[in-house]
Structure 1
Amino acid sequence: MPKNREKLLYGAAGVVGSSILAWRTLFPWIVYDIQLLKTAVKFGKHMVTNLMSGKYLIDMFEDDVQKSPTKPFIVFEDKVYTYEVMDQQANRVASIASQWKLKVGETVAIMITNEPAFIWTFLGLQKLGIAVAFINFNIRMKPLVQSIRACDSKVLIIGQEDDLLQAAEEVRSELEDIPIFVQGTSLLQSQSYTRFDELMQQAVPAGVCKAVRAGVHPLMPSCYILTSGTTGLPKPCIITQAKAIGFSAFLLFVKCSDKDIVYTPLPLYHSAAGGIGLMGAIGTGATMVLRGKFSARHFWEDCRKYNVTIAQYIGELCRYLLAVPESAEDGKHCIRVMVGNGLRQDIWEKFQTRFKVPKICEFFGATEGTTSIINVSNRVGSCGRVSPFINLFDPVKKYIVKFDYTESEPVRDKYGHCIAVRPGETGLLLTTIPPEVFEIGFYKGSKDINEKKIIRNVFKDGDAFFSYGDLIMIDSNYFAYFKDRLGDTFRWKGENVSTYEVADVMTGLNFIHDANVYGVEIPGADGRAGMAAVHLIDGTPVSNDVLKMIFNHCMKNLPIYAQPVFLRFPKDQALTLTFKQVKVELVNEGYNPNIIKDPLFFRDDVNHTYSPLTKEKYSQLITKSKL
């Protein structure tokens, strides 16, 4: 367990009559903890009040409707949807879904782009106590089937875009037992689909009796948000009704109220937009300005046009905004705070200064995680606090332990226990696991899937902690800073990329024996770009035809952010003594042709193939930052 300085703190906490002045003298960093606790109290009150009264997310929404029926709830493409209008649409969805005879807690999958239909479809199903699986509309083929099946979906509803219908058509034979409803007016290619819009026109927008969802309880799933996690294909993170209440309270950390207007250009199938943004707006009665797709050119224009007060971001988004030529309009907006994750320290101050953002609240967490941390102190580069004082009050404790990079596991002492890092050191973030989470798991699926996120015997024999698989550094004031992502997942273009999924797709080509996939750093870019060390079947040359087939295969079966940016073709496959792929040396070598002797290629989107990455081309790409 934490030592020295921490022991002194725990002892000091028990001294009767200790004054705030004495605490601040002994521990000057405690002022930041107190600042965080003030906002955390509001979060806790929201959680307790709603859980004790049996009010879940859908109940909060219906309360919003009753309180402010004509108040704008969603603004999308210049059209305003009031709370009442969204409720009527949700009631129509509920009327349709009630004919499916699904039980409370069963699942309907939705694959809908950023538009109001995503929201009213979700809310309509919630009125019946039906869990909703948020399907990433970018995925195709096997990952798509896996996502739908993993949630045990009984029905699939897809949005109005033609490419979504095409994606469903490509896997229809593998989903024959699942009814598919199609929104929009697309021409349906077969009788195996049902037009959802026609049913919506016929449905009556009458309210739904709450008794229909009487069986809902805090540990029942509200929705599933799919993530690559750290162990393979998309897995459904369980967002229980209780966790959804937590999402609905998150914006209280930035003092959000029904007077605020929240801008969300992020995909709703992510926990950032679908959880913090959408559920947060419902929990506070705020207005959400939703954009179909992020646009650096229109971001500030939208914020000015709609008088946005809170804007969501991810780190890459901020870098794209900085890349836009400076304008006299920079800094002209009503935003009082931006909230998100992944904003790199190297651009933080530049971004905040140029666009005159008063406050940035960076947070760190995982959709499947047991808690999160948030920086409410405007501390540049920090993603939150991991403080021994906070741990005195927090029901979910947070620790950072020393990590062995070579063995890819925590360092343990002679007793087999983990060792907490000291301020200034970097380690692995672990959090305690509430009993109820142990009961239901982090993901829907087998115990083995969930067990991979657990580290046992951390500070004493028999204990168990959730591992985020990320390296965090704490400074002398216990501010936390994200350093790196471990394991089989890396982040690129704002998305988690599963190395297992990419390798699985690539080995679908009959001439590829194996593919070792990993992420490599790009100067001036957030996250890591995908790279694959490809081992071909004996006798297969690295020909133009082979390279073009790999390009086309990845383009068809992987979302753009998961397609490898670089390929190398080593002669021998590097394995450990336990036959695990070696990644460390490959990652360290990166994609530098001055170091790598193997054939090396980059994704050439102009010629639709992988082209040789020569020393000259490497210099051009690095200099012009066109990676």
Structure 2
Amino acid sequence: MLLSWLTGLAAGIVFLHFLQKLVFPYFWEDFWYLLKVVRYGIRVEMYKLKGELCTVLDRFLSLAQKQPQKPFIIFEGDIHTYQDVDKRSSRVAHVFLNHSTLKRGDTVALLMSNEPDFVHVWFGLAKLGCVVAFLNSNIRSNSLLHCIRCCEPRALVVGADLLGTVEEILPNLPEGITVWGMNDSVPQGVTSLKEKLSTASDKPVPRSYHVVSSLKAPHLYIFTSGTTGATCVLKKKFSASQFWNDCRKYNVTVFQYIGELCRYLCKQPKREGEKDHRVRLAVGNGVRSDVWREFLDRFGNIKMCELYGATEGNICFMNHTGKIGSVGRTNFFYKLLFVFDLIKYDFQKDEPTRNEQGWCIHVKKGEPGLLISRVNEKNPFFGYAGSKKHTEKKLLYDVFKKGDVYFNTGDLLVQDRDNFLYFWDRIGDTFRWKGENVATTEVADIIGMLDFIQETNVYGVTVPDYEGKAGMASIILKPNKSLDLEKVYEQVLTFLPAYACPRFLRIQEKMETTGTFKLQKFQLAEEGFSPLKISDPLYFMDNLKKSYVPLTKELYNQILLGEVKL
């Protein structure tokens, strides 16, 4: 009797196991992932109840006490231990304590390349309770000034290699900003931070200066390997040819990627021993399915943890199962924690589609839809620094009922029958190229400064075998004015970072607009840059000739074949 009962129980368990595998194949992966999410949420709530949060800096200082001699940063062969970083960041803090009027809560802008002093300055300012605004080291001129004005800093700290960039804009900086340079020799109007560091104290700064009690503190949203006790291997710039050599040399186990990085690695000539490394995990976003497969085939069984999210957003996904091509996965329980939807989008009107009652419309599984996320107390949207206009543009009101508010990600995603999510396209006023976000309005404004340009419409176009979209500018000339291609080239190269410069130009006689008088981008992007389909004059950015040149059928084919570098 007992034996038959046990046999039946075992058979039932086996049946349920196979049934679960058949009907809910990702049950356990989802369960453990959601358990981690819930545990993290509980920890955050506990910190909130205590009224004192553990920040990145607090975690770093705790680890510096436990493992002072462990390498924290390895940069160009030099080792910087936890103790080294702690002491030098304290020197930075004491310089600003003794030689500036900075106080807790002030914002300081940081313009530096990849180097240890980036972390030293960041942590040093954080020890004083200052908010640090990281500026893109590729931008310059008006774009840089715009970013500085938006974050309203009391001070600006500049790396030695970027002092020339800042010197150009010094006369136009807002009043009240002191500029500090990480070099012994600095331009007039700049104070040498490096010089003062040599005599500064490295005594610990009292924790009372930087204790945080609110989750809304801006510096909480930046993370580094210091939160886990790991060692960070840092390089000035990415090198595809040296990447795996560096991984082997420094025993790298995890690296962060953008899609372009993986593509560059796959484009390298094949070598022996490509799987001879200790890398077990890669974390990032934007890698295409074909590149993903090739990457794993060539470089071994590396777990790819593809993510979806934005620094300003209130929704994120993580591909915790390793499904190739997917940015993440959802289920009933995840949507209870993070309420999001995919809705229909009208490409002609450049806005979400609404039904006769005025409500947005859900898309079916397998159809691309605009990703939106509900804004509430648990999932807030804090907005953009210094720009209420841009903050409002990211919000959708009265979406499914009166009074509801959703964050508009500006991204189109597809959800399949197994609830995996896939990135489909980006809409609106930005697109991605070379792993960077390009603001179309900024590019259009720069081109529009030329005296022979009447109107400019900037958008992204798809180029085979490239991640993201290449910039293209549709231009209308002023009456009785002629196009100066060399001036356009000089203008964009002078005032825009390299990744934002339009690769293609299209000269039109008139601009098409939507029903709400927005410039029509969708149709232009669909038409692309093919001289076989477009009768308008087309031009290509030629860096060798330092000008835009006519985009001929021959040049077009060379671009498609990858014979011309973009």
TM-score when normalising by structure 2: 0.92
Q: What's the counterpart of residue 570 of structure 1?
A: 508
Matches within 5 A, 1:332-351: 332-351=276-295
Deviation digits for residues 555-575 of structure 1, max 9, x if unmatched? 110000000101111122223
Q: Does 1:462 align with 2:461?
A: no
Q: What's the counterpart of residue 170 of structure 1?
A: 168
Q: What's the counterpart of residue 360 of structure 1?
A: 304
Query: Aligned equivalents of 1:109 and 1:579: distance in 2?
Result: 37
Q: Does 1:321 align with 2:265?
A: yes
Q: What's the counterpart of residue 481 of structure 2?
A: 540
Deviation digits for residues 366-389 of structure 1, max 9, x if unmatched? 110013100011100000013223
Contact 2:433 2:467 in 1 (8 A): yes
1:615 Cα deviation from its structure 2 partner: 1.2
1:20 Cα deviation from its structure 2 partner: 8.9
Matches within 5 A, 1:122-161: 122-161=122-161
Bigger-Rg structure (1/2): 2
Q: What's the counterpart of residue 538 of structure 2?
A: 600
1:437/1:509 CA distance change after superposition, 3 Å: farther
Deviation digits for residues 290-315 of structure 1, max 9, x if unmatched? 11111101111111111111111000
1:524/1:371 CA distance change after superposition, 3 Å: same
Contact 1:35 1:377 in 2 (8 A): no
1:458/1:23 CA distance change after superposition, 3 Å: farther
Q: What's the counterpart of residue 73 of structure 1?
A: 72
1:34 Cα deviation from its structure 2 partner: 1.6
Matches within 5 A, 1:115-264: 115-161=115-161, 164-175=162-173, 176-185=175-184, 187-190=185-188, 192-214=189-211, 217-222=214-219, 241=220, 244=221
Contact 2:75 2:234 in 1 (8 A): yes
1:25 Cα deviation from its structure 2 partner: 6.5
Q: Does 1:89 align with 2:27?
A: no
1:335 Cα deviation from its structure 2 partner: 0.8
Percent of matched pairs sharing the same residue: 40
Query: Aligned equivalents of 1:571 and 1:292: distance in 2?
Result: 45
1:26 Cα deviation from its structure 2 partner: 5.4
Return the match for 2:226 from 282, 287, 312. Answer: 282
Deviation digits for residues 570-615 of structure 1, max 9, x if unmatched? 1222233433211122112111111111211100111100011111
Matches within 5 A, 1:472-621: 472-542=413-483, 546-621=484-559
Question: Any unmatched runs of 5+ in structure 1?
Answer: 1-18, 223-240, 245-274
Q: What's the counterpart of residue 16 of structure 1?
A: none
Contact 2:183 2:195 in 1 (8 A): no
Query: Aligned equivalents of 1:32 and 1:420: distance in 2?
Result: 27
Return the match for 2:330 from 386, 391, 402. Answer: 386
1:45 Cα deviation from its structure 2 partner: 5.2
Matches within 5 A, 1:16-55: 27-41=24-38, 43-44=40-41, 47-48=44-45, 50-51=47-48, 52=50, 53-55=52-54
Query: Aligned equivalents of 2:105 and 2:19: distance in 1?
Result: 52
Query: Aligned equivalents of 1:28 and 1:322: distance in 2?
Result: 32
Contact 1:524 1:625 in 2 (8 A): no
Deviation digits for residues 277-297 of structure 1, max 9, x if unmatched? xx2412211111111111101
- Of stretches 107-116 and 572-581 in structure 1, the one that deviates more from structure 2 is 572-581
Code of the residue aligned with 2:186 in structure 1: it is: L
Matches within 5 A, 1:419-438: 419-435=361-377, 438=380
1:84/1:49 CA distance change after superposition, 3 Å: farther
SS for the counterpart of 2:461 is: strand
Deviation digits for residues 4-29 of structure 1, max 9, x if unmatched? xxxxxxxxxxxxxxx99887665444
Query: Aligned equivalents of 1:305 and 1:43: distance in 2?
Result: 34
1:408 Cα deviation from its structure 2 partner: 2.5
Query: Aligned equivalents of 1:380 and 1:349: distance in 2?
Result: 7
Contact 1:314 1:341 in 2 (8 A): yes
1:410/1:387 CA distance change after superposition, 3 Å: farther
SS for the counterpart of 1:158 is: strand
Code of the residue aligned with 2:359 in structure 1: it is: H
1:478 Cα deviation from its structure 2 partner: 0.5
Code of the residue aligned with 1:211 in structure 2: it is: S
Contact 1:391 1:398 in 2 (8 A): yes
1:459 Cα deviation from its structure 2 partner: 2.5
Query: Aligned equivalents of 2:106 and 2:376: distance in 1?
Result: 24
Query: Aligned equivalents of 1:611 and 1:541: distance in 2?
Result: 15
Deviation digits for residues 341-374 of structure 1, max 9, x if unmatched? 0010122111111110431010001110013100
SS for the counterpart of 2:91 is: helix
Question: Any unmatched runs of 5+ in structure 2?
Answer: 1-15
Relative contact order (alpha carbons < 8 A, sep ≥ 6): 1 or 2 greater? 1
Contact 1:361 1:374 in 2 (8 A): yes
1:494 Cα deviation from its structure 2 partner: 0.7
Deviation digits for residues 487-531 of structure 1, max 9, x if unmatched? 110100110000001001111112211111010000010010001
Query: Aligned equivalents of 2:418 and 2:317: distance in 1?
Result: 15
SS for the counterpart of 1:343 is: coil
SS for the counterpart of 1:592 is: coil
Query: Aligned equivalents of 1:324 and 1:47: distance in 2?
Result: 44
Deviation digits for residues 107-140 of structure 1, max 9, x if unmatched? 0001000000001100011111100010111111
SS for the counterpart of 1:123 is: helix
1:104/1:434 CA distance change after superposition, 3 Å: farther
Query: Aligned equivalents of 1:308 and 1:448: distance in 2?
Result: 43
Q: What's the counterpart of residue 7 of structure 1?
A: none
1:20/1:398 CA distance change after superposition, 3 Å: farther
Code of the residue aligned with 1:173 in structure 2: it is: P
